[in-house]
Amino acid sequence: MLMQRASTGLFWFLSIVIAALAFVVVTLATAIGFDQAAPHLVHYLDSEKLPLYAHIVFAPLALLLAPFQFWAGLRNGHRRIHRAIGYAYAVSIAIAAIGSLLMLPRFQGSTWATTGFALLAVIWVATTARAFLLARARRIAAHRAWMMRSAALTFAAVVLRLMMLPLMATGMPMLKTYDITAWASWLLPLLVVEWLLRRPGRMVQQPV
Q: In the complex, which residues of this chain contact ligand HEM (CB under 6 A)?
A: 18-19, 22, 25, 38, 40-41, 55-56, 59-60, 62-63, 100, 103-104, 107, 117, 120-121, 124, 153-154, 156-157
CA 142 to CA 95: how far, in whole Å? 24
Q: For residue 97, which phi and psi values (nearest 5 degrees)?
A: -70, -45
Compute the least distance from the CB of residue 84 to ligand HEM, in Å.
Answer: 20
Q: Is 71 helix (H, G, I), strand (E, B) or coil?
A: coil
Compute the least distance from the CB of residue 107 to ligand HEM, in Å.
Answer: 5
CA 53 to CA 96: how far, in whole Å? 9
Q: Give CA separation, 59 vs 92, 140, 196, in Å.
A: 6, 25, 25
CA 59 to CA 37: how far, in whole Å? 19
Measured from the CB atom, the residue of 21 and 203 that comes closer to ligand HEM is: 21
Compute the least distance from the CB of residue 53 to ligand HEM, in Å.
Answer: 10
Compute the least distance from the CB of residue 156 to ligand HEM, in Å.
Answer: 5
Measured from the CB atom, the residue of 88 and 204 that comes closer to ligand HEM is: 88
